Amino acid sequence: EAGVTQFPSHSVIEKGQTVTLRCDPISGHDNLYWYRRVMGKEIKFLLHFVKESKQDESGMPNNRFLAERTGGTYSTLKVQPAELEDSGVYFCASSLEWGLNSPLHFGNGTRLTVT
Amino acid sequence: AQSVTQLDSHVSVSEGTPVLLRCNYSSSYSPSLFWYVQHPNKGLQLLLKYTSAATLVKGINGFEAEFKKSETSFHLTKPSAHMSDAAEYFCAGNSGYSTLTFGKGTMLLVSP
């Protein structure tokens, strides 16, 4: 089966610009998660979709971040306007069922650099 | 909420020698704990998980970890390191029903 796919793999943008990251989960996985790792820090949870609904968005840092999952398939994460502190690696993961007994499958991540 | 602490940012070993990557957790309840590995430019891959069954958990690629409640630890070990084990390793625990809290990561360096 195809794994979790993220696009682009790298993005370099200037402060104030907009960037949209995309994640395609494993087919049939209703649960989709976004995590990010800011340089030198822990990987932190951003939000969790169950199908097209936001189950938990407690990790979203501020209203410059907007995540969508129209139709319950792929998801996008938009950062507008981007700030320097948004630089880091953004990971997407998907799982078949809700709960940690269902393994999380991670994508390779998108490395975002804001200059 | 749970937190995990990885005690070493870097660990260096020689090929063929044992590997020990340390992780401590803090939790007021019985945790679920995980070890993930990330090779360069790859995603996070699950090595093993503990979910309150056997305290000694065996994972892929010869890795194992032991849950020690008295020490609040979940250290990752491997008897003999291979060059291919060089990667970054993350300890994680559950911070909600389906979300993870990660440690800062430990970079494992393996020399010939």
Average pLDDT, chain B: 92
Q: Are A61 and A104 in contact (CB under 8 A)?
A: no
The candidate with the shortest Cα–Cα distance to A115, out of A85, A79, A80, A78, is: A85
Q: Which positions in chain B have a beta carbon within 8 angstroms of at least one beta carbon in chain A?
A: 32, 34, 36, 41-46, 49, 51, 90, 92, 94-105
A104 close contact with B: CB closer than 8 A: yes
Burial of A105 (0-12, 13-18, 19+ CB in 10 A): buried
Q: Mark A55-82 as b/e (b = at least 16 C-beta within 10 Å).
A: bbeebbeeeebebebeeeebbebebeeb
Which burial class, exposed, middle or buried, applies to B86 when counting CB atoms under 10 A from its CB (0-12, 13-18, 19+)?
A: middle
pLDDT class of B1 with cuts at 50, 70, 90: low
**CA closest to A48 among chain B residues:** B99
Task: Please write the tens of the pLDDT for every residue from B47-84.
Answer: 999 987 788 999 999 999 999 989 999 999 999 999 99
How confident is the model at residue B99, as a pLDDT?
A: 86
A101 min Cα distance to partner chain B (Å) = 8
pLDDT at B40 exceeding the cut of 70: yes
CA–CA distance from A23 to each of A40, B34, B63, B74 (Å)?
Answer: 24, 23, 30, 31
Pair of tokens at residue B20: 């020990």
- Inform me whether the pLDDT recorded for A78 exceeds 70: yes
Instruction: Indicate which of A32, A43, A102 best probes the interface with B, i.e. most B CBs within 10 Å of its own CB.
Output: A43
Report the pLDDT averaged over residues A86-96.
Answer: 96
Q: Is the dihedral of CA A2, A60, A57, A46 positive or negative?
A: positive
The pLDDT > 70 percentage for chain A reads: 99
pLDDT confidence band for A67 (50 / 70 / 90): very high
Measured between CA atoms, the residue of chain B closest to residue A95 is B98
pLDDT of residue A8: 97
Distance CA B13, CA B36 (A): 19
Question: Phi-psi category of A51—alpha, beta or left, where left has phi over 0 and alpha has psi -120 to 50?
Answer: left
Q: What is the pLDDT of residue B53?
A: 75
Residues in Cβ contact with A2 at an 8 Å cutoff, skipping those fewer than 6 apart: A26, A27
Q: Which residues are bridge partners to B109 per DSSP? A: B12
Q: Mean pLDDT over residues A31-49, rounded?
A: 94
The confidence band for B28, taking pLDDT boundaries of 50, 70 and 90, is low
Chain A hits for B98, Cβ within 8 Å: 31, 33, 48, 55-56, 95, 98-100
pLDDT at B46: 93
Q: Give me Rg for the CA atoms of chain B.
A: 13
Confidence of residue B92 (pLDDT cuts 50, 70, 90): very high
Confidence tier at A19 by pLDDT (50, 70, 90): very high
Instruction: Pick the residue of A23, A41, A42, A60 with the most B CBs within 10 A to test the interface with B by mutation.
Output: A42
